[in-house]
Amino acid sequence: MTYDIVVSVIVGTCLAGFVQGLSGFAFGLVAMSVWSWSLAPQLAAPMVVFGSIVGQSLGIMAIGRNLQMRRAMPFIIGGLFGIPLGVWLLRYVDPVMFRGGVGIFLICYCTVMLLSRHLPAITRAGVVWDAVAGWIGGVMGGLGGLTGPAPTLWCTLRGWERDTQRSVFQAFNLSMQIVTMATYLVDGTVTASIARIFAVMLPAAILPTLAGVRLYRRFSTVGFQRMVLILLLISGILLTLSLLH
């Protein structure tokens, strides 16, 4: 690795780790805004997955007793069933257009929600709908690497308090990333050179992620929901801009 690449890896990991520690997601969004200038896509994809796994694991440990695995399981089960369909749809759907369409939806939806005086809450939806949200996330993950938006948006609508929302979509995202990393290991995507980059990322991610988790505890439930919507809105803008390349 050259000096410039090492600096890029460390800076991207630190920034992305902090944001993920704060919000519970968005590692890839932040990291790719730094790495896309100096790293090849075939390197960046497994790096995003590895960094997300590290950050999600630290975040879940920080949540501790507030981890809601019972609520998260329908999302996870639905997501595992959705991934194969998303991979199959890759043959028929243009991934760039798909990401752009998701970006336009996120911009419209998040803007409306942020302009609303009171965020709506769907309190009577059951585990079946939670599983559907996870399934949609799995399909979107297999098709375009976008596992997070659907479950995260659904969690903001469920009326759950801050820690419950975060623990659910963190547990979901961590599960989906572990499945993805296992796939990378089996098919040989993770090479010796990428493993060396992982060794640089690991220490760079720890302190910023923990700092983000510490700051997260100062947010109220409503403040946390609005922060999530703002980050999803930024994600939508960046996804839509990908149509211009």
pLDDT at position 103: 85
pLDDT band at 217 (very low <50, low <70, confident <90, very high): confident
CA-CA distance, 53 to 55, in Å (whole number)? 6
Non-local CB neighbours of 144 within 8 Å, separated by 6+ positions: 86, 95, 98, 99, 102
pLDDT of residue 11: 94
pLDDT at 62: 67
- The 10 Å CB-count burial string (b at 16+, else e) for 186-211 is eeebbeeebeebeebbeebbbebbbe
Q: What is the pLDDT of residues 157-189, one digit of tens each?
A: 887 888 888 889 889 989 988 988 888 888 888
Q: Which of 206, 217, 234 is nearest to 18 (CA)?
A: 206
State the average pLDDT over residues 214-219.
87
- For 172, other C-beta atoms within 10 Å of its C-beta total 30
Tell me how far CA of residue 147 lies from CA of 40, 129, 227, in angstroms.
22, 16, 19
Q: Give the integer Cα–Cα distance in Å for 216 and 164.
A: 13
User: How high is the pLDDT of residue 177?
Assistant: 87
What rounded mean pLDDT belongs to the chain? 85
In terms of Cβ atoms closer than 10 Å to its own Cβ (0-12, 13-18, 19+), residue 115 is exposed
Question: Can you give the pTM of this predicted structure?
Answer: 0.81
Quickly state the pLDDT bin for 42 (edges 50, 70, 90). confident
